[in-house]
Copies of this chain bind each other. A is one copy, B any other.
Amino acid sequence: MNVAIVGATGYGGIQAVNLLKKIKKYKISFLGGNKTSGSKWNENFPFIYLDNDPYIEEISVDNISKNADVALLCLPNGLSSTLTRKLLDRGLKVIDLSADYRYKSLDEWKNVYSKEAAIYKRNDDDLCKEAVYGLPEINKEAISKGRLIACPGCYPTSALIPLVPYLSQGIIENEGIVIDSKSGTSGGGREPNQKLLLSECGEGLSAYGLINHRHTSEIEQVASLISGNKIELLFTPHLVPISRGMHSTIYGRLRDPGLTSDDCRILLDNYYRNFKNIKVLPVDTFPSTKWVKNTNQIFLSVKVDIRNGRIIILSAIDNLLKGQTGQAIQNLNLMSGFSMDEGLDLTNNFP
């Protein structure tokens, strides 16, 4: 399988190079990056050495599709949509890491991503409808057969994997769910940004995007679908001074207040028992993002306040792997007929 990495010099693209370089079943056929196009890879990334030292090329449909079977789009929101239909028309499969195809309707996207919608005049509601939401633990079958995969956002991944088992089985109330998430700075991307300077965000912690963060709508869309009811929830992201890592603390109310922490743990464990990359920890063992760093794992833990039937679910992922490119490669693996975990590290290198 030949894979074109489109947007190779951001964190999404860099992870893709790192991962694909280690998996013999794939060949990187194209490295696209407009700012550095024309220069050699190793000159830009001496620390991610590629033996053949390819050129970074201009991003264009022709260049991408030259030798590729699949295009991995690691591009800013909106930009992906300018390439996707053309790439599909040339027979490529597309795995999109942006938000462009995460909504089931273009209108919803335009509503949430209004700034991007003002720049990119999209007319591909059909592709929004066709696209498969690339959460492989939930959507395995559809992904395997899909030709356009919309990879979930990092926050939605960290929130939905713990929530889905409870929502789909009606274990927790639809109302009153709170998701308090914390992300490392690499989630903000690799573009120069004052707020993400170590001097500015080091030795500090803050919330951002209260109520209105775009991922709220993404989580609500999928959660509503899964539960069969319209779900409105509170989601608060926080910026933490670590490079990579994401942690979500999720609060809900049990329908049956008699359930114990153990009951809830077993339920989660059963739901995901076939997924090697999902680890449900013993009750009272709480995951650190450090435990999953540089891996494609998600660690989960659950506890119940038996006084009143409230439940807390914790999740920890590496935001650039399970939260982004690792998940994209899971999807690529499924689309290629390989094992979902092929080439993805499930062992952490603590500390």
Contacts and interface: CB of A to CB of B under 8 A. Distances in A.
Contacts of A200: 190, 290, 351
Nearest to A318: B349
A206 interface: yes
A206 B242 CA distance: 12
Contacts of A207: 247, 249, 286, 314
A238 interface: yes
Contacts of A180: 178, 180, 236, 249, 251
14 contacts: A11-B199, A46-B279, A46-B282, A48-B348, A48-B350, A178-B251, A185-B197, A190-B199, A196-B197, A200-B351, A202-B242, A202-B351, A207-B249, A208-B286
A1 interface: no
Contact of A206 (B48, B201, B234, B316): B316
Interface stretch (A107-115, A140-148, A302-310): A302-310
Nearest to A204: B290
A11 B198 CA distance: 13
Contacts of A291: 46-47, 204
Interface in A6-63: 11, 14-15, 18, 21-22, 45-49
Interface string A83-122: 0000000000000000000000000000000000000000
A182 interface: yes
B294 A349 contact: yes
Interface residues of A, number: 83
Contacts of A168: none
A336 interface: no
A203 B245 contact: yes
A307 B232 CA distance: 8
Given A47-B291, A236-B312, A312-B236, A199 B196 contact: yes
Contact of A240 (B15, B49, B192, B205): B205
A292 B47 contact: yes
A241 interface: yes
Given A192-B192, A210-B312, A198 B47 contact: no
Contact of A288 (B185, B204, B243, B247): B204
Contacts of A284: 210
A225 interface: no
A184 interface: yes
A176 interface: yes
B202 A198 contact: yes
A191 interface: yes
Contact of A192 (B45, B197, B286): B197
